[in-house]
């Protein structure tokens, strides 16, 4: 969470509002894509809406996320990969 705050503060400090907005839009859409993916994992009893709606939501979020500038989504994906590696390393250290 602190890393995200520092990243957003850095984007604001460079003075480019469009870059900051695009980065924020990309991350929100990825967040909603993850939420739709999680909804697909629910059992039939837990689900409030049809499964096809989760697929449509997931596809729509991913489609829209990659309409921002290529530089933005490359940095966004890079940060996601760094976060996943960090999570994996911490998880391994804790479980040893």
Task: Note the pLDDT of residue 95.
Answer: 82
Q: For residue 74, how far is the Cα from the chain centroid?
A: 12
Q: pTM for the full model?
A: 0.74
Query: For residue range 59-89, what is the model confidence (pLDDT) as tens digits?
Result: 999 999 989 888 888 988 998 999 999 999 9
15: left (phi over 0), alpha (psi -120 to 50) or beta: left
Task: Note the pLDDT of residue 26.
Answer: 92
Task: Note the pLDDT of residue 63.
Answer: 95
* C-beta neighbour count of 6 within 10 angstroms: 10
Residues 59 and 11: their CA atoms lie apart, in Å, by 28
Give the chain's mean pLDDT: 88
């Amino acid at each position: 969470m602190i890393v995200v705050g520092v990243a957003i503060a850095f984007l604001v400090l460079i003075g480019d509002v469009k870059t900051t907005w695009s980065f924020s839009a990309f991350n929100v859409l990825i967040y909603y894509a993850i939420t739709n993916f999680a909804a697909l994992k629910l059992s039939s009893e837990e689900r409030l809406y049809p499964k096809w709606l989760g697929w449509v939501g997931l596809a729509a979020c991913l489609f829209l996320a990659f309409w921002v500038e290529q530089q933005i989504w490359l940095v966004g994906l890079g940060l996601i990969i760094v976060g996943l590696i960090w999570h994996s390393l911490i998880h391994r250290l804790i479980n040893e």
